[in-house]
Structure 1
Amino acid sequence: MDHFDTAVVLGRVLTSGVIMSIERNDRELPALERLLCKTSGRPRVTLVNSVTAGLHSALAGLGLGHGDDVAVPALADAHRRFLAWLGVRAHEGGTPAFAHLSAGPDDAGRLGALLATTAGVPAVVLDLTGLGFGPAAAVLFDDEDAWRRAERLKIFGTFDLRTMWTQTEADDGVGGVQFNYRLSPLVAACVRMALTTRGERA
């Protein structure tokens, strides 16, 4: 994405007045979700603000957490330490509970093919940080309940805080330490533009 594209995206989001992920009128996060669902063929996606948030969300969505032994794909040492901090005993070998992929500037045109390699895996953590707009990740699910649990985790876990105007107790909240893993609309807009413009030019 060149400087002109970036300027257009920044101008559009900043002049919209919607810069928080819990704004009722946000359009950037839903647009990126639709793009990733269409590209992957999976019905649900959770957008988060880092790859560690993505790993945590994938585990929470699948009902895995503290005290569980979990087969994982190859992960960086820092990510394995994060899982250990969560109390998850991660090990390689066997069928991984989730897939982990990274997307960089050269992957936009082949993102669909890249995601197709994960068919049959219940959750996919897609690290979007390499696109160059700050930490960002998406977790793709086939299962509705898994997606709902991941969504609850990123908004503090025990409350269904979909917007700043509604806050109700969640039926199936994720207990324990709570996190704010929400991705900003500004980063979502830049990521979507990077994926679409680079995909068109590939």
Structure 2
Amino acid sequence: MRFIVEGRWVGLPVLVLAVVSIVYAAPSASREGRAANDAPKTVGAASKFAKQLHKPGEDIGPLPGPVEEMRQAILAAAHSGDIEDLREPLDWNEMKPEVAAAAGEDPIAHWKKTSGDGNGREILAVLAEILPMRAAELPLGKDLENNIIYVWPYLAEMDLGKLTPAQEVELLQLVGPAEAKAMRDKKKWTWWRLTIGADGTWHSFKKAE
């Protein structure tokens, strides 16, 4: 049996092969088209978000509402002079923040034990010093827009060998010249560091390792 295809007589086997080729080629072309259309959108979204993140040391503007609420709650406890007041912001978390305490140890008890004065007031003083400072923004996870974490002080995320004079003054106010020099020599932040997630979760408060 013979058929006319594009003005030519062809046999049945040739016709079947032509039809099969068309059927299998079409989806492949379609997938490539979808990939080509999707790629610019993905890259564009990532680029747009990357421009929204500030470098450590830059003014990041107003904090998200949940972050500011947690910051203010911790600051209020710090200014009260009673470390027990930190239980309120601690209890806002489903899980307690990382504080370098032993597993199952109460964070308040840990801070009292490790504080130089024995009452946790040294810890409150640290919080009162770093939380009024500028925070640094860091991405956390793949869903960047909803998983930024805010780090205090911002100096914890900077190259300590490249600070401006004003930033150098802030560093000296926090840790003093001896520890500032030690950290620059190690090229590593080793003082206190506090983090709060964009959703207001208090993630950590401990000395950097």
* Greater RCO structure (CA 8 Å; 6+ sep): 1
TM-score norm. by structure 1 comes to: 0.27
TM-score norm. by structure 2 comes to: 0.27
- Higher-Rg structure is 2
